Structure 1
């Protein structure tokens, strides 16, 4: 807002708070004259050139304030007491009987228990996820030369067995022989000595035997499942331990005098 000194015509910019202490009167900072700033009070300056701000009469009827934004709620009066004196309104006393005070150490203990439970849940979920990943990659972990022996040692302590991992390329044929079957006519008895060069146990393989003639032509072929040459189910379930050697015996039909060679393969 703006106002003008009537003596020296100096225009001042002021805030409404400055008009409150002296009911609108201010002192001119130039001529030190005291004047009522409400007489020339304006929200904006008129367009230049101007010499005086418009003056307003201050002896008119007060304007009506009709836009209310707040009105205090009326306080009910209590009836007079028996002595005829009006009773004074007293604020109702606050009731603290139902309040519960929790000691600071109890709050700290509660937060610590909540944190411990949260940490336990997170660790359990992480262990579960790790176990799922380990189970999905169990063949690679067991076959690993570093992790596999550690897992085997751990299982030996707790009394468990690792799952069998098939790795036929690590089975080595040490010796083989073929002879006439002692009890079956036109039968052959083939024996083989096989060693598991892996550091972990393997399931007994599927053995394929091919008989051929002198020209390398295939005369006969047969695939032997583990149950065909390992009769004990418990031995089949345990598999062939790492570094162990086993003897395999196979019975086949003699394809005739032309069969002069045979070959083994493991699947």
Structure 2
């Protein structure tokens, strides 16, 4: 059997199976017209006859729906606008996460590199890395200085973290013979770092010696405690 496109007159060979599967609806490969193949069925070969291409004579539509029956898809620019908007919203949300959670996330060695990349993109600043738990205390002593009547506190510490970190502050307290606090003070890095050291961050694996001079206390000293903050 044969049928003909009512728009351009192109003829196609068809079978009963094709008619059944496409419910009689086909698309002309020549002019793009969707038409009903049933009214134009012929038993003899029409003249002129267009032999079907290797991919099939026309395009058959299952369920009887042609191309113009399909629901219109969103336009390219609409989809592009939605995509750009979604990306911008995601970046904004990540920026807020980086800004408000940067202090906590910046102290995580695994998350910090990603946070740095994110802040570079959105323009936020990552707080300096700090992990006092990874600072090893190599040596600590408190000895009297006869010439002044005061004391000298000596501390050797090393950063055992995998990254350079800010220098901690040192909280030093001394106690009398009854174990009661006699004096205490917080020393900032600017106060205990050697003059002219040029150090802004505590290097990894390198020991640093600190010496602090303490004034003569009002009571006799028998011990001390300290912590890094």
Q: TM-score, normalised by structure 2?
A: 0.51
Matches within 5 A, 1:1-267: 111-148=75-112, 162-180=126-144, 185-230=148-193, 231=195, 235=199, 238-241=200-203, 243-255=205-217, 258-267=220-229
Q: After TM superposition, give the deviation of residue 175 of structure 1 in Å.
A: 0.6
CA contact (8 A) 1:211 1:218 kept: yes
Q: After TM superposition, give the deviation of residue 256 of structure 1 in Å.
A: 7.0
Q: After TM superposition, give the deviation of residue 194 of structure 1 in Å.
A: 1.9
Q: After TM superposition, give the deviation of residue 181 of structure 1 in Å.
A: 5.2
Distance 2:197 2:129 in 1: 18
Distance 1:174 1:180 in 2: 21
Q: State the SS of the aligned residue for 1:255.
A: coil
CA RMSD across the alignment: 3.8
Distance 1:143 1:204 in 2: 14
CA contact (8 A) 1:186 1:254 kept: yes
Distance 2:114 2:79 in 1: 34
Distance 1:117 1:263 in 2: 63
Q: After TM superposition, give the deviation of residue 135 of structure 1 in Å.
A: 2.6
The aligned residue for residue 12 of structure 1 is: none
Distance 1:202 1:145 in 2: 11
Q: TM-score, normalised by structure 1?
A: 0.45
Please list every run of 5 or more consecutive structure 2 residues that lacks an aligned counterpart in the other structure: 1-74
Q: 1:109-149, CA deviations, whole angstroms, 9 ceiling, x for partnerless residues? A: xx424432431232122112112202322233233243235
Q: Which has the higher contact order (CA 8 A, sep 6+)?
A: 2
Q: After TM superposition, give the deviation of residue 189 of structure 1 in Å.
A: 2.4
CA contact (8 A) 1:220 1:255 kept: yes
Q: After TM superposition, give the deviation of residue 215 of structure 1 in Å.
A: 3.7
Q: After TM superposition, give the deviation of residue 208 of structure 1 in Å.
A: 1.4
Please list every run of 5 or more consecutive structure 1 residues that lacks an aligned counterpart in the other structure: 1-110
Distance 2:102 2:162 in 1: 15
Q: State the SS of the aligned residue for 1:137.
A: helix
Q: After TM superposition, give the deviation of residue 228 of structure 1 in Å.
A: 1.5
